[in-house]
Amino acid sequence: MSALANSAPELDISSRRWSLLAALACVVPLLLQLPPSLGLPIAAAGGLTTLLAWRKPLPAPIRLALTLLVVAAVLAVSGARLGRDTGCALLAAMLAIKPAETARLRDARSLIGFALFAPFATFLLDQGPLSLLLGLASAFGALVALQRLSDLESGDAAFAVPLRTRLRSVLHLVLIGLPVALAAFWLFPRLGAPLWGMPERALGRTGLSDTMRPNDWIDLMADDTPALRVRFFGAPPEPDQMYWRGPTMWRFDGMEWTQAALLQGLPAPATQPAQRGWDYELEVEPTERTQLVALDLPVAAPTGSTLSGDYSLRANTPLTSLTRWRLRSAAPARYQPKLPLLLRQLALQLPEGFNPRTQALARQWRTEAGKDDAAIVARALQWIRRDFAYTLDTPPWGRDAVDQFLFDSREGFCQHFSASFVVLMRGAGIPARVVTGYAGGYRNPLGDYWIVLRSDAHAWAEVWLEGRGWVRVDPTAAVAPERIYDTIADRSPGASGLLGGLGVPTWNVSDWLRRNWNDLLLGFNAERQSRLLAPFGVEKLQGRQLGLLFALAAVAALLWMVWLSARGQREADPVLRAWHRLAARYRRLGLEREAHETASEWTARVARARPELAADLRELSQRFANWRYAAPQPGMQNGRDATDLVRALRRHRPTSKQF
Amino acid sequence: MPSPSTNGAPSPNDAPASRWRRLRAAALSLTRPRTPEALPVTIDRRRVYVLPTRFGLFFAALLLGMGVGALNYNNNPALLLCLLLGGAAQASLIAAQLQLTGMSIVAIDAEPVAAGHPIALRLHAQAEPNRIRRGVRVDDDDVLATSVLNLDQGRGEADVLLPTQQRGWLAVPRLRCYTTRPLGLARAWTYVWSDTPVLVYAAPEPNGPPLPGGVGEQAQTRLHASGDDVHHLRSYRPGDARRAIAWKPSARRDALLVREYEQPLGADVVLDWNQLHGLTYEARVSRLARWVDEAERDGRRYRLHLPGQPDLGPDHGAAHRHACQRALALLPAAGGGVR
């Protein structure tokens, strides 16, 4: 076997098994993150390919056909929408059919190399603790497989290493590499702003939508995962004040509510804040969109976000990962007391020829109420409170949906209530708009923070009243206040789960863990990094200082790695260890004990060269020889003796010759 | 991972290849050791070189892509994954170097073979048994086969098969001890360059004439009659010479027994350089080399007479054969004063 022929040895069965297992372990966390419609077929394709190619690799035409087939299938299932998850699904699919050609060492290595991208892709989709745990475990497995392949390459694969030894030696490598990895993790300068944007998910999870179409919120209302976590600095607002404002819907085409593009560019109008204000920090779960929410009216837009003309807060880049926002909000005493004509027209716009019964009712109310807008609002709320019911089980809306709701069904949920209310108000000539966002919140007693779930998504209305400006009106609260305010008692997450009474505490603990996880690992960014030395009095680290710190830490960690690797196996016996170190101390004098010398021979040689050192050393070596070779004497405590001896051996220092 | 190979003779037409070869030679001339050295030698860290393998480069590119992506997206789990893999890879680089450092190459020796046959160099190594050192390979550009060097219990050996072309002293080439363990990401290697040559015997002539007849008084081949020689008795087989029968023991045992000698003795064969007329210089050497082997095989005593040297023998046995072959192998080349 020459050096060249050795370059691509055949895989033996064990190496092959290791490689395939490692690749499998890498792909599994990714498959868990993909929608089942993609994940299951890919898993099946992987299993089938592995089986078919177990004895020998599939021929090239079949492999090519398989590749084309798999790519086509993934694109077909994902609707050919290109996004982060489609890319990840393609990666998983390619990995699944890679075993078709894994016959040689080089194939196995490239399989493992590409498979290591799978945990990386998983983290782009999900950064939860489970994903990280699975991802790191699979990377460890990949290293074990690489080690096995390296054994094969060295021609020593036949020498079977027990599994424990194999795992331990890879663990050893990882642990030795840990200092430099952690130094880099904490100190490697982070990017303040990304170089390029993150592709959106093509098959994303539901979040607050830019548009509102009745019925399309059902998915969102059933999603009991957190959307926000909030920490208040100071007193939190009352539960009935917890309205997290999101996008504001102005335009209505009869079916769908949309935002007004015009308002995106406008500055936030003047408000007169009330006395009360709240300081808080939002931890926003990734949504793939730029829309943010804020408690009532934010005082100013935090860095990285902008506030539009209707106090809708938007981030400058899509929220693809967990983000934190420090905000201050205040309830307005008077919110935009002067409404510009253009906005007034926008807030009164209704599609022609829709909902004639509602229009007629609104006109009737207007004539009865005269100029008193507030009376119309109160009358509407009273009517809704009296005659309407709250339900999530609604039939799909037809053409004159508002008419149907107000006069026929009279049951629905927040979208129906808010949309119909706004149409009614506009019909009566009162400027009104729909506001979407979240309402309520759940306080986790562990860690004292509030959680807003995706199912807390809500829609309400704002009407503009002369002299007061925009006023929040929640027609849903008039019917089902418990939907909005009583989240603590009735709608605690986990209460309806399988665990029964234990559900709530379990949920609390797991969300608390998740939040700390977010805090410790996911929320560590350039800004947090610059405050790394704040406990030591350095308020803000500059980029160059950080780089220097990183370089120093990396060099120190590397040196430590070298030392850890090179120290070899420690002598197990403390007495022998001390004795060998004593002997090594004589190296400086050129009198180091040779490997073939016995203790007494060496002592004699030292005595000849340096008579003044001889007495101590002779005594020590005698004691050492007794400890090692003499028969144990009755009545003598061997352990105690050894401790003394070790101490004496350690104390002995040969002094250099003085002239 | 394939090593850059410079097998074959350099050809002037192959311009890029020869430039590559020159570059490589220049790089090699800078590596330690620069001249052959006396063994044993201990491998210290300054003569261990570590470079990433092709897979190591691929792995590094993979980690780089991962790291840039993770930083860009501020994705801390991905960054952590990338850094842990990077740390382990870095540790494997150090581990690869440590496989070699501290190892002593004690000797490189070989049983002599005839020129044209591959010679098996044997490299003896030892090290303090404080680390597991397994799977070190020993090779060189010209080797035909190598084996793995495993230093269990502190010592180990590896065989390297080298081709031989001509008789005489063969300088041991600069051998490379390398390992890609533990992860195959980096190759650590060191050069061992022994200054002790190994001997290659002359190639025996393939189809030569039979041995020359014996000279001296006992021209006939017969069994040695002396009772002093070591022998044993066996039962008679048809065709055995009559005088080989041991009568007295046969009488005692009531069966015919035959004396069998350890080696049948013939007349001494004289292998004389000067008798071989009409042959070129090297042809004489190879014929003599063949005759030495043949005489040894036939169990005959032989005497080798070479010009300018005292005669070897008459004698037989392995030591004598080696002495003769050695003398033949070390004959000066043609035109070196011997006709």
The ipTM assigned to this model is: 0.76
Does B89 have pLDDT greater than 90?
yes
Section A460-473 average pLDDT: 90
DSSP state of A626: H
Mean pLDDT of chain A: 82
Answer for the pair B154, B128: CB distance below 8 angstroms, yes or no: yes
CB pairs under 8 A between A and B: 189
Answer for the pair A226, A454: CB distance below 8 angstroms, yes or no: yes
Same structural domain, A442 and A310: yes
**Minimum mean pLDDT range among A216-230, A406-420, B44-58, B102-116:** A216-230
**Minimum mean pLDDT range among A517-521, A563-567, B234-238:** B234-238
Does A349 have pLDDT greater than 60?
yes
> At A51, is the secondary structure helix, strand, or coil?
helix
Same structural domain, A237 and A154: no
What residues form DSSP beta bridges with B60? none
Task: Tell me what pLDDT residue A552 has.
Answer: 92
Residues 192-211 of chain B with CB under 8 A from chain A are: none
**pLDDT-derived band of residue A634, with 50, 70 and 90 as boundaries?**
low
Q: Distance (Å, rounded) from C-alpha A632 to C-alpha A629?
A: 9
Same structural domain, A222 and A80: no
Q: Last residue of a domain, which of A476, A491, A506?
A: A491
Same structural domain, A486 and A594: no
The minimum CA-CA distance between B114 and chain A, rounded to whole Å, is: 22
User: Which of A300, A291, A282 minimizes the C-alpha distance to A249?
Assistant: A291
DSSP state of A259: -
Q: Which helix (H) or strand (E) holds A378?
A: helix A373-387
Q: Is residue A178 part of a domain?
A: no
Task: Tell me what pLDDT residue A181 has.
Answer: 92
Residue A231 tokens read as 């920490």
Greatest Cα pair distance in chain B: 105
Section B78-97 average pLDDT: 93
Q: Which helix (H) or strand (E) holds A245?
A: strand A243-249
Q: Distance (Å, rounded) from C-alpha B226 to C-alpha B235?
A: 20
Same structural domain, A321 and A451: yes
Section A342-351 average pLDDT: 89
DSSP state of B187: E
**pLDDT-derived band of residue A128, with 50, 70 and 90 as boundaries?**
confident
**pLDDT-derived band of residue B236, with 50, 70 and 90 as boundaries?**
confident
Domain count for chain A = 3
Put simply, the answer to whether A146 touches B86 (Cβ < 8 Å) is no
- In a mutational test of the A interface, the residue from B83, B97, B104 whose CB has the highest number of chain A CBs within 10 Å is B83
Section B93-104 average pLDDT: 89
DSSP state of B130: T
Query: 10 Å Cβ neighbour count for B213?
Result: 10
Question: Cα–Cα distances in Å, from B253 out to A104, B55, B103, B233, B238?
Answer: 70, 77, 64, 11, 18
Q: Is residue A173 part of a domain?
A: no
Query: 10 Å Cβ neighbour count for B210?
Result: 8
Which one of B1, B75, B83 has the shortest CB-CB distance to A123? B75
Question: Cα–Cα distances in Å, from B21 out to A261, B17, B32?
Answer: 68, 6, 18
Same structural domain, A318 and A421: yes
Q: Is residue A179 part of a domain?
A: no
Q: Last residue of a domain, which of A441, A456, A491?
A: A491
Answer for the pair A203, A37: CB distance below 8 angstroms, yes or no: no
Q: Last residue of a domain, which of A491, A521, A538?
A: A491
- What are the b/e assignments for A368-407, b being 16+ CB within 10 Å? ebeeebeebbebbbebbeeebebeeebeebeebbbbbbbe
Residues whose CB falls within 8 Å of the CB of residue A462, separated by 6 or more in sequence, listed in order: A248, A432, A433, A435, A470, A471, A472, A473
Q: What is the pLDDT of residues B309-320, one digit of tens each?
A: 888 877 878 888
Q: Which helix (H) or strand (E) holds B143?
A: none
Section A605-630 average pLDDT: 81
B53 touches chain A (CB under 8 A): no
Answer for the pair A123, A131: CB distance below 8 angstroms, yes or no: yes
Looking at chain A, the whole-number percentage of residues with pLDDT higher than 70 is 90
User: Which of A417, A426, A443 minimizes the C-alpha distance to A363?
Assistant: A426
Put simply, the answer to whether A194 touches B73 (Cβ < 8 Å) is yes
Show residues of chain A in contact with B55, CB under 8 Å: 106, 109, 113
CA angle, residues A284, A286, A287, in degrees to nearest 5: 105
User: Which of B186, B84, B80 minimizes the C-alpha distance to A146?
Assistant: B186
**Minimum mean pLDDT range among A306-315, A444-453, B233-242:** B233-242
> At B133, is the secondary structure helix, strand, or coil?
strand
Q: Distance (Å, rounded) from C-alpha B57 to C-alpha A42?
A: 30
Section A467-478 average pLDDT: 87
Half-sphere exposure of B194 (CA within 13 A, CB side): 22
Q: What is the pLDDT of residues B191-229, one digit of tens each?
A: 998 888 999 998 888 887 777 765 544 434 444 444 444
Residue B316 tokens read as 């037989």
Section A32-52 average pLDDT: 87
Same structural domain, A225 and A153: no
**pLDDT-derived band of residue A23, with 50, 70 and 90 as boundaries?**
very high
Same structural domain, A255 and A130: no
> At A481, is the secondary structure helix, strand, or coil?
helix
What residues form DSSP beta bridges with B170? B198
Answer for the pair A463, A376: CB distance below 8 angstroms, yes or no: no
Answer for the pair B84, A178: CB distance below 8 angstroms, yes or no: yes
Same structural domain, A129 and A236: no
Task: Tell me what pLDDT residue A572 has.
Answer: 60
When comparing pLDDT for B120 and A576, which is higher? B120
Q: Which helix (H) or strand (E) holds A330?
A: strand A323-335
Does B337 have pLDDT greater than 60?
no
Show residues of chain B in contact with A124, CB under 8 Å: 69, 73, 75, 78
Task: Tell me what pLDDT residue A498 has.
Answer: 54
Does B248 have pLDDT greater than 70?
yes
Same structural domain, A469 and A383: yes
Put simply, the answer to whether B77 touches A127 (Cβ < 8 Å) is yes
Q: Is residue A550 part of a domain?
A: no
Which one of B55, B87, B92 has the shortest CB-CB distance to A178? B87
Task: Tell me what pLDDT residue B227 has.
Answer: 42
Does A109 have pLDDT greater than 70?
yes
Q: Is residue A393 part of a domain?
A: yes
Domain range for A125: 13-161
Task: Tell me what pLDDT residue A594 has.
Answer: 78
Q: Distance (Å, rounded) from C-alpha A438 to C-alpha B333?
A: 100
Answer for the pair B67, A120: CB distance below 8 angstroms, yes or no: no
Task: Tell me what pLDDT residue A591 has.
Answer: 80
Q: Distance (Å, rounded) from C-alpha B220 to C-alpha B213?
A: 10
Same structural domain, A375 and A255: yes
Q: Is residue A541 part of a domain?
A: no
Top mean-pLDDT range of A139-143, A344-348, A396-400:
A139-143
The minimum CA-CA distance between A108 and chain B, rounded to whole Å, is: 11
Q: How many residues does chain A have?
A: 659
**pLDDT-derived band of residue B245, with 50, 70 and 90 as boundaries?**
confident
Residues whose CB falls within 8 Å of the CB of residue A312, separated by 6 or more in sequence, listed in order: A245, A246, A247, A248, A259, A263, A291
Q: What is the pLDDT of residues A185-238, one digit of tens each?
A: 888 888 877 777 777 666 655 567 777 776 666 666 767 788 889 999 988 888
User: What DSSP assignment string belongs to A214-240?
Assistant: TTTTHHHHT--SEEEEEEEESPPPPGG
Section A134-146 average pLDDT: 94
Q: Which helix (H) or strand (E) holds A346?
A: helix A341-348
Peptide bond into B40 cis (omega under 30): yes
Same structural domain, A349 and A228: yes
The pTM score is 0.73
Q: Please name the amino acid found at residue A600.
A: S
